[in-house]
Amino acid sequence: MNPQTINLAIGNAGHIFVIISFVASILATYAYGKAAVNNEIGKDSWVSFGRKIFIAHGVAVIAAAVTLFLIIYNHNFEYHYAWSHSSVNLAVHYMIACFWEGQEGSFLIWTLWNALLGFVLIGTNKKWEAPVMTVFALVQVFLTSMILGIVIGDFKLGSSPFILLRDVLSDARFLINPNFVPEDGTGLNPLLQNYWMVIHPPMTFLGFSLTLVPFSFCIAGLWRKDFTDWIRPALPWTIFGGVILGTAIIMGGYWAYETLNFGGYWNWDPVENAVYVPWLVLIASMHTMIVFKKSETALKTSIVLVISTFLLILYATFLTRSGILGNASVHSFTDLGLSGQLLVYLFVFLIGAIALAAIRWKHIPTSEKEASTYSREFWIFIGALTLCLMAFQVIVPTSFPVFNSIIEAFGGISSLAQPANQVEFYSQWQLWFAIAIALLSGTGQFFFWQKMDKEKLKSALALPIIVSLLLSALIFTTAKIYNPVYIAILVAGVYSIVSNSNILINLFRSRSYKLTGGSVAHIGIAMILLGIMFSEGYSRVLSKNLTRKISNDLTEEQNNNMVILFLNDPKPVAGYQLLYKSEGLSARGIPGYIKKSFLAETNDPHYKVAIQPIIQEGIKYAALGDTLYFRTPENTYHEVEYTSMSSGKKFTLYPRTQKNENMGQTIVSPDIKKQWNRDIYTYVALSNDFEDEFTQWSEKEIIKVDSIGQRFFINDYVAIYNGFERIPSVPFANLSPKDVAVRANITVFAEGGNNYTLQPLYVIQDNFERKRTLMNQEIASRLTFESINPQDGSVQFGIQTTQKDYIIIQSLEKPQINILWIGTIIMIIGFIIATRRRYIEFVKMRDKGFA
């Protein structure tokens, strides 16, 4: 690329915006801090200055974010971030995902959310603006420092997304031409090229940002010795943070279910745990804050939990971005030299918050009221305690790498290791906690709406318990649930649904619609528990191998739970007949997948030539010789047809294999047939790679064909020779007018009425023969155009054959998984209803001057 085309201005502008935002955040912290000390509100001088400078900070953050996206969108590969995460072939929505694939971009989106939330707080709550925005601005100081990228000697502050590629890579091309710009980038990790990855990460960072709001109100309350009033404005944000972070977790689980091949949606990966734990504590804090609003108890507990939630978010950030997890997680980022900054960030707020809480602790009011067993306070406190125990059980083993590093830093030796079977280890504990939560959410709701004593409790619980036991008995009898743990889960889940539904009906009868949020959310959570129990506990392997061992490269379990499907060779599997029909690629503008055998390669893997008309669902999309564009040529889709042996109904799945250069291996992703009562989950564990160096090919056999229309055999398939034609160009050579290029046309007749067109090339360039081997997986053959006899027009072809194409698949049945997904939607609806109610309450009190 020309020196004139290198764009230094946009990167310099982005870097300047980051510096402005950093300096402005420091000034905003100081100004708002002065205003808080002076108890200023409204239009007072320091508040006014702090407000203006924070808005300037936010505008600079927005400008920096827009600049980074423009660098990605305009393919400015002179910048390391664009080169590392994007490519010219990415769709626009995946360019958006490139923004937060790297550490710098993810810190920038987090900073952006904080800035936008700061704008909302400035406009909605003048009473708390100064102390709350002091905390907000201070957090922004640390976040913007993460992307400053300033280096002074050996000291480095942050990692800039606007650094040039030549300043990062040691490449000889930059010595020859400092303004060298690559034509393309390395691209977005193909695993992340999924629509959930466009919305899941920003939703997660919005959840992170929302935990800052109640934390800021809490710190502001402790700072101003206004120990109780902060709860009212903080509560709606706490509930909203719960729904956003919970939704983000579910999105991540669904991405894993659709994209990865472990057969589930939650693998207890350390990075998954690092987000799950703060969410549990956040939900616990929400409940204790609600208790305080109703009875002025649990204030100290609320303070501890709100502070803990935000600190756990910071700790999760350190875990995932410092590189300390190493190979313990498939999600963690590599260390960019920011681990020291992350520790400072964590310890400033850890020490500051704990110190402030300790100083104010004895002054925080407490209720002398004793929590009776028949009080709402008791039951909600038990529920919050259970949630915290759930969090503790997960965070301790997840932190083993941190414990090892701390011990080794002091000269000790530690080899604490992650659980060998993390799914079993965490699940066996979390299930019992979840059962307790279901029972508590079902029982606690009765205390929430009316005063209870022993007799009233018996009367209120009698009907829900009887109905729950009857329904549970009916379900585990018909579903044949005999495992005692699963029976306990079923009873607890059904009880929670029945008891919360009972409360919900009563609220509807009294037209108290705004109070329904808690019951709706608890019903959703109970459904999630039941959905997990059915889909995971009763997941069934359909692809049981009842014959011989498939491969020595597979474990015994894999050999027992997988089947091999040969191309066009039907095989009975668990009441279905499975048929592997083809391998396909996805072309732009053409629905479905195009068989690889219908395409010829070019020099660019993103472009292929149709060697026969492309017809999908009766519509012709491409003619012979048309060049087609493939955005993701690394993705191969395997067509597997399922036919029910009882009803004859058919459906087709297209599990994907992906040559993932970023991960140095082939990644497999499932395809899923979604039915009302189950999912059929199928992935290709191993596919036959004909280009693999270990593939054994037969000795080349030379076949002479004398005339057009002559039939011959290719690997036991009948083939017919249709003649040859001279062509002006070939993809692998630049031909001069004296050179000759000839293309033969051969039709091969295969099983199932499939016809394949083979077009081997014969080239004479500079008086030398150039032969290119043509491979066709459907007929497991390689073909070369060997020679032409100009005297009689006969031709010769070289044929090599190998084992028939095959795939090894695993097929699973996930029963009643829709209960899980429906439950998540209901839970989110409940959270939204509760958020709206609490916000309306806050606005009314604020307008009266009480909040």
Which three-class secondary structure string do you get for 532-559?
HHHHHHCCEECCCCCCCCCCCCCCHHHH
- How many residues in the chain? 851
**Residue 439 CA from chain centroid, whole number:** 31
Q: Which residue, among 572, 543, 547, has the nearest Cα to 558 in the 3D structure?
A: 543
For the stretch 625-669, pLDDT in tens is: 899 999 989 899 999 999 999 999 999 999 999 887 766 678 899
Domain-located, residue 751: yes
Residue 407: Cβ within 10 Å count: 14
Residue 371: the pLDDT is 57
Q: Domain boundary residue among 162, 193, 224?
A: 193
pLDDT for residue 2: 45
Alpha carbon of 32 to those of 112, 140, 321, 357, 426: distances in Å? 19, 13, 30, 21, 44
Cα–Cα distance, 109 to 111 (Å, whole number) = 5
Task: Assess if residue 23 is contained within a domain.
Answer: yes
**Co-location of 288 and 262 in the same domain:** yes
Helix, coil or strand: residue 779:
coil
Task: Please identify, among 131, 162, 193, the residue that sits at the C-terminal boundary of a domain.
Answer: 193
The one-character DSSP state at 505 is H
The predicted structure's pLDDT at residue 728: 87
Enter the pTM of the model.
0.90
Instruction: Tell me: do 270 and 187 sit in the same domain.
Output: no
**Same domain for 185 and 73:** yes
Q: In this structure, is residue 120 part of a structural domain?
A: yes
Residues 234, 358, single domain; the answer is yes
Same domain, 162 and 60: yes
Could you tell me if 132 and 276 lie in one domain? no
**Neighbouring-strand partners of residue 402:** none
Give a yes or no: residue 203 inside a domain.
no
In this structure, the number of other CB atoms found within 10 A of the CB of residue 318 comes to 20
Q: Are residues 292 and 318 in the same domain?
A: yes
Decide: 519 and 507 in contact? Cβ < 8 Å: yes
**Element (H or E) spanning 34, and its range?**
helix 8-37
Q: Are residues 676 and 729 in the same domain?
A: no
Helical H runs in 399-483? 400-409, 422-449, 454-478
Specify whether the CB–CB gap between 542 and 810 falls below 8 A.
Answer: no
Residue labelled with tokens 């804090």: 285
Three-state DSSP at 147 gives coil
pLDDT of residue 332: 46
How distant, in Å, are the alpha carbons of 49, 217, 405 from that of 304? 32, 13, 27
667's torsion region: left (phi>0), alpha (psi -120 to 50) or beta?
A: beta
- The Cα–Cα gap between 386 and 525 comes to 15
**pLDDT beneath 70: ranges in the chain:** 1-4, 326-337, 368-375, 446-454, 662-664, 850-851
Is there a single domain that holds both residue 531 and residue 555? no
Neighbours of 731 (CB within 10 A): 14
Instruction: Say yes or no: 163 and 182 in one domain.
Output: yes
Q: Give the pLDDT of residue 454.
A: 67
Distance of CA 67 to the CA centre of its chain: 25
Domain membership of residue 724 as a residue range: 701-804
Of the candidates 312, 317, 287, 322, the one whose C-alpha atom is nearest the C-alpha of residue 302 is: 287
Backbone angles phi, psi at 366, to 5 degrees: -125, 155
Inside any domain, residue 695:
no
Distance CA 213, CA 234 (A): 7
Q: What confidence score (pLDDT) does residue 663 get?
A: 62
Beta carbons within 10 angstroms of residue 109's beta carbon:
21
In the chain, how many domains are there? Answer: 5
Question: What does the block give as tokens for 201?
Answer: 């990460």
612 falls within a domain: yes
8 Å CB contact between 205 and 100: yes
Tokens read off for 299: 């204030």
